[in-house]
Amino acid sequence: MDINIQAIEQHMLENKQTDTLVFGMGCFWSPEANFGQLPGVIQTKVGFAGGSKSNPTYRQMGDHTETVGITFDPDTISLELLLRKFWSDHNPNRPAYKERQYISLLLYRNAEQKIMMETIKRQLEGDRDEPIYTEISPLHDFTEAEPHHQKYYLKRFKRATELLLRHFSDETAFHSSTIAARLNGFVREYGTLASIKQEISQWNIPLEEKNRLQQLLDDLKW
């Protein structure tokens, strides 16, 4: 099926105002899948942030933390909802291990994000009647993890991944794809193919492209 998913998704982003959020909540594979399945999340990447080491890698992470960076449409999904999901979907008070690699971490890009993070954290501390030990710090750098860490769960299905890659210019474009983010969530049992197809039916793209995308999902071999 000849369909340029990359071009379709780029067209959808034209004239859209987006925001980004970077966070750590343990091993970055599962949170990428968990957040990637949410309508309104446009792009997910896993990487290293929060430390001072130059050019961190998975084997040479230094004082960085495994983090997920997401790009989202605030008109569809709010920063507040994402932050509440962040705190509801992991234990921010579990004992630290592997130094800073797996700590609970929020990295703000601006004053608005910092205020929102601190406000919700105080509210949750009151609701739970206990302190929350999530670290809230400014974002200085985000270094993308190696390619085999991106869309980790989806890539375990080699036949489906090979078919999808035909519809992108390269692997980097595939890693930035909304469809890839949704399918990475689906194979981790976050969301369903039916919910992805329903979301596509609401996308602001021609009906023919909607039908071809939905048919592509039906044709994937798992």
In the set 7, 13, 27, 81, the catalytic residue is 27
Domain boundaries of the chain, sorted by first residue: 13-147, 151-219
**Tokens coding 32:** 């990428």
User: What are the tens digits of pLDDT across the range 136-181?
Assistant: 999 999 999 999 999 999 999 999 999 999 999 999 999 999 999 9
Q: Which residue type does 78 have?
A: S
Is 13-147 CATH 2.170.120.12? no
Q: What is the pTM of this model?
A: 0.95
Active site residue 32: no
Query: What is the distance between the alpha carbons of residues 176 and 201, in angstroms, rounded to a whole number?
Result: 21
**Tokens coding 189:** 């049992």
User: What are the tens digits of pLDDT across the range 100-143?
Assistant: 999 999 999 999 999 999 999 999 999 999 999 999 999 999 99
To the nearest 10 degrees (0 to 180), the angle between helices 193-200 and 207-219 is: 170
